[in-house]
Amino acid sequence: MSDETDLFGAARMGYVVVESDRLHDWRRFLKQGLGLHEVPADEDALAFRMDDHERRFMIRKGAAEDVVATGWHLRDQAALDIVLRRLAERGIAVEPGSTEEAAFRGVAGFVRLMGPKAMAIELFIEARTTATPLNMLTSGFVTGDSGMGHLAITSRRPEKMLRFWQEIFDARLSDRIHQPLSGAMLDIDFLRLNARHHTIAIAATRGLRLDPIRTRVQHVNMLVSTLDDLTDAFERLCDLGYEMAHEIGQHPNDREVSFYVVSPSGFELELGWNALTVDEAAWRPTSYNAISVWGHRPRRNSRLDRLAINAGNFRRGLRSLLHPEYSPL
């Protein structure tokens, strides 16, 4: 629109806020399972570190059982100002977060808007960091300039969701995957905001647009530093009794080796290793016709399990037709 500044590379995912009534289970899942560093929080909340940021993953008590907000770390005030101008040009309202809310998120301050699918998008430029050594069950997570991970979101209005990330943050399309699923075709667009192959993946059914996923986010992804970190976390989560939605496998596009575990709130957590970063000079968008090169087998894979899962997804998919999906654009 009116400014020519390219914000590609200026934004990264900074934090996640989940609302859940299952705090006890979330602590077990994130601390004993995924191995994050727990930090003291208020009575009705949990907070975790995965690097030098004071907080990355927060759970607050409430009934949503969903990701309710994601934090987006802008490079500097100039980048934030451009985002705010673009939002204003489109009539998208922004409100400041309170001091208490900022403290809970481990940031100096933030502003909030209602993003696609009614998920709060929170913008900040300064994260509180700490020199206190990490106490984790894993050797480390890959964060830095490419952020804490990625989100995968199912949508009935994928064109609008794509436009939001492209027009506000100058997201670039890395590639697409077309995956047959229960007799339908799922089209997934992978968008990058920085060197991470994708920070946002948008999945939509071709033809009749159904959304079989109850939660705003289908999965949150985080990357561990080593293959041992990945396999150890897999073993720990299995031993703790968490359900593997998909066992270890590899994606064709970012070459990431990963597994998907069902979180206490029902959406999935993808833990990955060895995802490639994009070389802007050489990258050409392409498309693939399967989500996995190998593995990613569902653990509940009997005929009866598959029928039950498909029937549940179909019911929720049909129900989604009754409710319009929110889009700020």
Residue 253 as a binder of Fe ion (CB under 5 A): the answer is no
Looking at beta carbons only, is 30 or 87 nearer to Fe ion?
30
- Minimum CB distance to Fe ion smaller for 110 or for 234: 234
Closest distance to Fe ion from the beta carbon of 125 (Å): 26
Q: Which residues of 248-261 are buried (b: 16+ CB within 10 A; e: fewer)?
A: bbbbbbbebbbbbb
With contacts defined by CB under 5 A, how many residues of the chain interact with Fe ion? Answer: 3
Region binding Fe ion by CB under 5 A among candidate stretches 20-28, 42-50, 140-148, 264-272: 264-272
CA dist 121 → 73, 90, 91, 197, 212 (Å): 11, 15, 15, 21, 23
61-65 — which CB contacts under 8 Å span 24+ positions?
A: 61/19, 61/20, 61/21, 61/23, 62/19, 62/20, 62/21, 63/19, 63/21, 64/19, 64/20, 64/265, 65/19, 65/20, 65/21, 65/22, 65/215, 65/265, 65/266
CB of 73 to Fe ion, least distance (A): 20
Q: Least distance (Å) from Fe ion to the CB of residue 94?
A: 28
Residue 258 or residue 327: which is nearer to Fe ion going by CB?
A: 258
Q: Which of residues 125-154 bind Fe ion (CB under 5 A)?
A: 152
Q: How far apart are CA 48 and CA 59, in angstroms?
A: 9
Distance CA 329, CA 318 (A): 24
Least Cβ distance, residue 25 to Fe ion (angstroms)? 22
Is the Cβ of residue 143 or residue 221 nearer to Fe ion in the bound state? 221
* Residue whose CB is less far from Fe ion, 16 or 46: 16
Q: Residues 73 to 112: which contact Fe ion by CB under 5 A?
A: none
CB nearer to Fe ion: pick between 83 and 223 = 223
189 contributes a contact to Fe ion by CB under 5 A: no
Beta carbon of residue 150, minimum distance to Fe ion (angstroms, whole number):
6
User: Is residue 32 within 8 Å of 48, Cβ to Cβ?
Assistant: no
**Looking at beta carbons only, is 11 or 152 nearer to Fe ion?**
152
Q: How far is the CB of 188 from Fe ion (least distance, A)?
A: 9
Residues 175, 189, 270, 325: which binds Fe ion (CB under 5 A)?
270
Which amino acid, 270? E
263 touching Fe ion, by CB under 5 A: no
Q: Which stretch binds Fe ion (CB under 5 A): 117-125, 128-136, 140-148, 268-276?
A: 268-276
- Residue of the chain from 155, 215, 221, 320 that contacts Fe ion (CB under 5 A): 221
Residue 14 and residue 199: Cα distance in Å, rounded? 11
Closest contact distance (angstroms) between CB of 252 and Fe ion is 12
Return the number of the residue (105 or 196) whose C-beta is nearest Fe ion: 196
**Strand 11-20, strand 66-74: pairing:** antiparallel
Contact 67, 61 (CB under 8 A): no
| Closest CB 190 distance from Fe ion, rounded Å | 9
User: How many Cα atoms within 13 Å fall on the side-chain side of residue 83?
Assistant: 29
Nearest to 147 by CA among 19, 30, 4, 11: 11
**DSSP class of residue 116?**
G
> Per-residue b/e over 314-328, b at no fewer than 16 CB within 10 Å?
eeebeebeeeebebb
Q: Which residues bind Fe ion (CB under 5 A)?
A: 152, 221, 270
